[in-house]
Amino acid sequence: MVNEGVKRTSFRIFIYTLLVLLSLLFVTPLYWLIANSVQAVGSSSTFWPTNFRLINYKYAVTFIDYWNYAKNSLIITAISVIIPTITSAVVGYGFARLRGPGKNVLFLLMLSTMMLPGIVTQIPTYVIFFKIGFINTFWPWFFWALGGSAFSIFLYRQFFATFPKDLEEAARIDGCSTFRIFWNIFLPISLPVVATVLILSFNGAWGNDYITPFMFLQNDKYPLATALFSIGYVYPGHKEITMTQVQSAGLVLFVLPIIIVFFIGQRFLVEGVMSSAIKG
């Protein structure tokens, strides 16, 4: 018994030590970014800042049209978060609860799109929207959002498939239509999955896509992710020299919403993924 207790304690110490080391490994780039954002403009990058220049954050939002780009990011993010969260739930409900010929084949085809790199379809998609006249507008994001997300549909489908049939049959006896069963019964008790989809969609829309806005939009409609790297912060009269410290400050402000959303919804994120994985 004593040896087992020692082994458990040693194993826990090992696990916690490993977690601390991994946490430091992942946090280090963010710390380095923050440390260099408060250095004097033109100074060399350092891990230990000596002169704290918070004015870099003022420069970050004034040297470029920062708030306009932030507004564009909010528009794209709102479209890419709200609409796919609903449409993915509807499709996931259909795959989980409705019957139809070829349903399983369609589900496998939908899952296969997750293995297709997005860059493969960029040029054909660009040509289609160019011919329609949607270039330099936010309409492409709206139509992409209508189709939902393959991963989100998978989460919803796995979760909805675990609901007992008696619940659905009782609702039908009470006169509920298929949509009312989905909207009034299934969706309200699926909050962990909904929150998970919202968080993942937000992170993907806010900060993970640089190429698509660069291809489809012009400078004045760039989101922050594209503007910070394609426009950037340069010395007046010296476009070849980047003000790295000011750019770091802009990046810190850019990632701040992602960090806040993650910490607010991390409990729902873990619960939603676990419930879809275990119950499915």
Per-residue confidence band for 241, with pLDDT thresholds at 50, 70 and 90: low
The type of residue at 146 is L
Per-residue H/E/C for the chain: CHHHHHHHHHHHHHHHHHHHHHHHHHHHHHHHHHHHHCCCCCCCCCCCCCCCCCHHHHHHHHCCCHHHHHHHHHHHHHHHHHHHHHHHHHHHHHHHHCCCCCHHHHHHHHHHHHHCCHHHHHHHHHHHHHHHCCCCCCHHHHHHHHCCCHHHHHHHHHHHCCCCHHHHHHHHHCCCCHHHHHHHHHCHHHHHHHHHHHHHHHHHHHHCCCHHHHHHCCHHHCCHHHHHHHCCCEECCEEEEECHHHHHHHHHHHHHHHHHHHHHHHHHHHHHHHHHHHHC
The per-residue pLDDT for 31 is: 87
Q: Give dist(CA 16, CA 119) in Å, integer.
A: 39
The arithmetic mean of pLDDT across residues 60-82, rounded, is 91
Per-residue confidence (pLDDT) for residue 262, from 0 to 100:
81
- Quote the CA–CA distance of 213 and 225 in Å, as a whole number: 9
Domains in the chain (CATH in brackets) are: 64-279 (1.10.3720.10)
Is residue 50 pLDDT above 90, yes or no?
Answer: no
- Phi, psi for residue 100 in degrees, rounded to 5: 180, 150
Residue 280 has pLDDT above 50, yes or no: no
Q: What does the pLDDT read at residue 85?
A: 92
Q: Which range has the top average pLDDT, 41-50, 77-86, 118-127? A: 77-86
Paired residues of 242 in beta bridges: 234
5 or 34: which leads in pLDDT = 34
Q: Write the pLDDT tens digit of every residue in 170-206.
A: 888 888 888 888 888 888 888 888 888 888 888 888 8
pLDDT band per the 50, 70, 90 thresholds, residue 5: low
| Contact present, 144 and 205 (Cβ < 8 Å) | no
Question: Amino acid identity, residue 26?
Answer: F
pLDDT band at 141 (very low <50, low <70, confident <90, very high): very high
Are the beta carbons of 202 and 254 closer than 8 angstroms?
A: no
pLDDT for the residue numbered 273: 55
Query: What are the tens digits of pLDDT across the range 245-262?
Result: 888 888 999 999 988 888
Quote the CA–CA distance of 6 and 3 in Å, as a whole number: 5
Mean pLDDT of the chain: 84
Residue 212 one-letter amino acid: T
What's the pLDDT tens digit per position in 209-220? 788 888 899 888
Using pLDDT thresholds of 50, 70 and 90, give the confidence band for residue 268.
low
Of all residues in the chain, the percent with pLDDT exceeding 70 is: 91
Q: What is the mean pLDDT of residues 222-229?
A: 88
Q: State residue 48's pLDDT score.
A: 78
Q: Given a cut of 60, is residue 15 above it in pLDDT?
A: yes
Per-residue confidence (pLDDT) for residue 274, from 0 to 100: 55
Report the interhelical angle of 139-146 vs 122-132 (nearest 10°). Answer: 120
**Worst-scoring range by mean pLDDT, 42-46, 68-72, 209-213?**
42-46
Q: Which amino acid is at 50?
A: T
CB 83 within 8 A of CB 272: no
39 has pLDDT over 90: no
Phi/psi of residue 242, each to 5°? Answer: -95, 135
pLDDT band at 275 (very low <50, low <70, confident <90, very high): low
Residues 6+ apart with CB under 8 A from 217: 72, 135, 136, 223, 226
State residue 278's pLDDT score. 47
Predicted local confidence at residue 42, as pLDDT: 73
Q: Is the pLDDT of residue 30 over 70?
A: yes
